[in-house]
């Protein structure tokens, strides 16, 4: 096994355990007296080391499910368990620590800080978590930039990089804390077809190294290349 996710062991297909379990998850948003049910009782299990694509029309509940799994939002009813931990019962402080150690997120619009270099952006999660020494964090970030093919661009600002290069930095940043779970929110949605395919292959490599990769996409071709595709419509799972 390479060093992409040190300490993680690839799990054989036949012995994969459940990493993510949603049971009866409902989410109702309220604006004044108006209620909007975003999720209507979702039951979902995702195995450790699996690559899963979530598809569905706008407003179907895809992003809400991702927010449940990362603890960014909490269910109105039901339970959310990740790697044996009930994250819906955690405090905000506990969730922040948990996310910093276990989850890497890749956004559609990169979300890089414009005044920081590629290397500094790739170090951010470790800086926030105060993980290791400054030298260790720098070495880890340099290693991740090398993995995504940007070893010689660490001193560049986001404005000096192409969209594909910025997304590679975002992936390097997501890998900073050796995450168990890598989440992609339309990670290829702002890229051309060729670059999107390259980004997918990079995420596939991350998955092959042992991480669980879960991503939302409108690209049905890219979705079909995942281990499993889950279709959400009107707040419920309608097809797997």
Tens-digit pLDDT profile for residues 78-93: 999 999 999 999 999 9
Please, which residues bridge with residue 233 across strands?
Answer: 236
Q: Reduce the DSSP state of residue 28 to 3 states and report it.
A: strand
Q: Could you give the domains of the chain?
A: 13-239 (3.40.50.300)
pLDDT of residue 169: 93
CA 39 to CA 62: how far, in whole Å? 9
User: Tell me: the pLDDT tens digits for 217-230?
Assistant: 888 888 999 999 99
Percent over 70 (pLDDT), the chain: 94
Q: CB under 8 Å to 152, separation ≥6 — which residues?
A: none
Q: Tell me the pLDDT of the chain averaged across its residues.
A: 88
Greater confidence (237 vs 107) lies with 237
Give the predicted TM-score (pTM) of the model: 0.83
Question: What's the pLDDT band for 51 if we cut at 50, 70, 90?
Answer: very high
Is the four-CA dihedral 124, 211, 217, 58 of positive or negative sign?
Answer: negative
19 has pLDDT over 50: yes
Out of 21-25, 99-103, 211-215, which region has the weakest mean confidence (pLDDT)?
A: 99-103
User: Tell me: the pLDDT tens digits for 161-187?
Assistant: 998 899 889 999 998 888 999 999 888
Each residue of 163-188: b (16+ CB within 10 Å) or e? ebbbbbbbbbbbbbbbbbbbbbbbbb
């Amino acid at each position: 096994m390479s060093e992409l996710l040190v300490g993680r062991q690839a799990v054989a297909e036949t012995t994969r355990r459940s990493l993510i379990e949603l049971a009866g998850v409902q989410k109702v948003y309220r604006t004044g007296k108006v209620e909007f049910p975003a999720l209507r009782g979702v039951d979902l299990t995702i195995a450790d080391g699996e690559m899963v694509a979530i598809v569905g029309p706008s407003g179907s509940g895809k992003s809400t499910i991702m927010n449940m799994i990362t603890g960014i939002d909490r269910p109105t009813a039901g339970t959310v368990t990740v790697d044996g931990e009930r994250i819906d019962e955690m405090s905000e402080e506990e969730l922040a620590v948990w996310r910093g150690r276990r989850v890497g997120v890749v956004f559609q619009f990169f979300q890089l800080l414009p005044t920081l270099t590629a290397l500094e952006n790739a170090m951010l999660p470790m800086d926030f978590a105060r993980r290791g020494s400054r030298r260790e964090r720098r070495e880890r970030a340099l290693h991740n930039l090398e993995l995504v093919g940007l070893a010689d661009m660490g001193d560049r600002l986001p404005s000096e990089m192409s969209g594909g290069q910025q997304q590679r930095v975002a992936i390097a940043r997501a890998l900073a804390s050796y995450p168990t779970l890598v989440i992609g929110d339309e990670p290829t949605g702002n890229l051309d077809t060729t670059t999107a395919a390259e980004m997918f292959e990079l995420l596939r490599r991350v998955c092959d190294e042992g991480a669980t990769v879960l991503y939302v996409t409108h690209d049905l071709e890219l979705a079909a290349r995942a281990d499993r595709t889950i279709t959400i419509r009107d707040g419920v799972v309608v097809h797997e």
